[in-house]
Structure 1
């Protein structure tokens, strides 16, 4: 297999692994540290709803994996020790860039932006996952916390 083939397979493998690393943006999930914390909640009505794109993460894992794979693949491309070093450095640079781009693309998500008017007249905007879908005019509860969220008002 050529050096380029190894690089491509490595970046694709990193991309597949990172797909499971996308942050959970659902209003139905909580971090373990949130258990037992008290959040302030206010009632309101949804005024506006629109789909939004939520950018992917750039943790450095994709860039690191790509750089390692690119360096390994590039080191076999040169002729002689100097050529191998130049190939490894070039491969690591290209692999790092490709890995970072793959991570961002693999963790990108779709979400919803909600504008809510609270019962006291304040306007709030919250971006969260697509489920549960909320409609314009729907009564909701706004939960304030380290990660605010909007849920349907059951009353």
Structure 2
């Protein structure tokens, strides 16, 4: 594999590496900061899909790799045509790959706080919550997460 191909592949993979929007994942800047804790009871849990916007890295990387692979087929005009077809196919495949990586299962968790207020929080579906369960809502003013 040529050096530009390796660079494009690395860029494609780097674009897909993101931390999940989970109630169990903290970024480094979120540590050692105080959070407000409220207690409540789960009213309902609804399955949702969490979609991160496409960055275009999958499409561009797939098109570049497909174009490079296609251009090695044939000679002259045939090589150019194969490169174009490879770029289009690679771009479509790269776009679908990025979209499938960016879509994650989530829960919309509706909680009735002990104060009587009703709150709904959406987060990754990596921890099961059931109606009637007592939970904590942790909030730093910008983001709220539900935990047991």
Q: Common fold, TM-score beyond 0.5?
A: yes
- Residue in 1 aligned with 2:130? 135
Aligned pairs, how many? Answer: 136
Greater mean deviation of Cα atoms: 49-58 or 125-134: 49-58
- Residue in 1 aligned with 2:108? 113
In the alignment, structure 1 residue 93 sits paired with structure 2 residue 88: yes
Unpaired runs of 5+ in structure 1? 1-12
- CA distance, structure 1, for counterparts of residue 29 and residue 134 of structure 2: 28
Under a length normalisation based on structure 1, what TM-score does the superposition of the two structures give? 0.71
Task: Report if the CA contact (8 A) 2:49-2:103 is conserved.
Answer: yes
Task: Report if the CA contact (8 A) 1:56-1:103 is conserved.
Answer: no
Under a length normalisation based on structure 2, what TM-score does the superposition of the two structures give? 0.74
- Residue in 2 aligned with 1:8? none
Q: Which of residues 8, 23, 29 in structure 2 aligns to 1:27? A: 23
Offset at residue 86 of structure 1 (A): 4.0
What RMSD over aligned residues (CA atoms) do the two structures have, in Å? 2.7
- CA distance, structure 1, for counterparts of residue 25 and residue 72 of structure 2: 46
Greater mean deviation of Cα atoms: 120-129 or 87-96: 87-96
- CA distance, structure 1, for counterparts of residue 34 and residue 49 of structure 2: 30
Unpaired runs of 5+ in structure 2? 1-8
In the alignment, structure 1 residue 149 sits paired with structure 2 residue 145: yes
- Residue in 1 aligned with 2:66? 70
Matches within 5 A, 1:1-20: none
* Cα shift readout 1:99-154 (whole Å, capped 9, x = no counterpart): 011121134322222111222222211122233312111111111234321012xx
* Cα shift readout 1:76-107 (whole Å, capped 9, x = no counterpart): 34651x44334323422331121011121134
Greater mean deviation of Cα atoms: 43-52 or 125-134: 125-134
